[in-house]
Structure 1
């Protein structure tokens, strides 16, 4: 099973975090990362997106380039527990899956799946990481590649 974990593109400042929108540069970043994914063997069957505006916008750009459906998931916002996402991944059937979310969740979910802890690794804006795992679980994934705009 392959899981692509992607951070949203660069976002503008806003007083309400959930309403932050992508900058022009952030849209360009998302398109560049999507184009790199499109040129690889890691094309997703489905995209899960955070409901925050910047993640939805990133997912929409990626979806258009990869011709892949998007589904919003309320449990992948910045401060959500990566364990909630892990539980949902256990039930998921359509692989590969691309998850578009935020720091610190993308970092903590990645380290939970790769190393079995929640220390968290940094993600650049619009960076995507490909994990390969025989089963979904802490410490079960191998890092295969990264796509950075």
Structure 2
């Protein structure tokens, strides 16, 4: 069965409130601008997730909310997953492995370096960094999300707000 995994790095966050714990940092102005832009690009591409899972960090939750709004995904169905906070690839795979197999198109909103590392692990790509609000879409042949570990997928898209318009996209 063809499944699609979209890895979304949270938008640019603010470092102004130095007293805030890392999980509490909000998006900065650029992040608030970039997230709707990427949501519009996903919508134009026809992205229709059956599930959006987000890290509990404020910056990730806000990014997921903006993207959901732009693509018409009901905000009340956003799934907050504690294990996605600063998660390594194995932790992200474990979170996905717990999801119901009826979800065929899943967006995971989280953090680096885990998202970049997982992209490279699943696709064999050599991406140095998925920038803030960067989106990676991976096509996967899986019967179940629990089969994700060790699977090789196809890199369908790597996009981010400051990507040159004429740059080739996988």
- The two structures share one fold, judged by TM-score above 0.5: yes
Unpaired stretches in structure 1, ≥5 consecutive residues: none
Superposition deviation, residue 148 in structure 1: 1.5
What is the CA-CA distance between 1:110 and the residue it aligns to?
1.3
Q: Provide the alpha-carbon RMSD of the alignment.
A: 1.9
1:96 pairs with one of 77, 91, 105? 105
The structure with the largest alpha-carbon Rg is 2
Matched, 1:144 2:146: no
Deviations 1:82-123 (A, max 9, x none): 21221232342212101110111111121222239xx97411
- Give the count of matched residue pairs: 146
Match of 2:78 in 1: 70
The answer (yes or no) to whether the contact 2:4–2:138 under 8 Å persists in 1 is yes
The counterpart of 2:114, out of the listed 96, 105, 108, is 105
Question: 2:49 — aligned with what?
Answer: 44
Q: TM-score, normalised by structure 1?
A: 0.89
Secondary structure, counterpart of 1:44 in structure 2 = coil
Pick the aligned partner of 1:32 from 2, 20, 37. Answer: 37
* Inter-partner Cα distance in structure 2 for 1:45 and 1:27: 24
Q: Deviations over 1:12-70 (max 9, x none)?
A: 00432111100121011111001000011332111110000000110110111112231
Structure 2 portions without partners, runs of 5+ = 143-147, 162-170
Extract structure 1 runs of 4+ deviating beyond 6 A. none
TM-score (norm 2): 0.79
Equivalent of 1:114, from 116, 123, 126? Answer: 123
Q: Residue 26 of structure 2 aligns with which residue?
A: 21
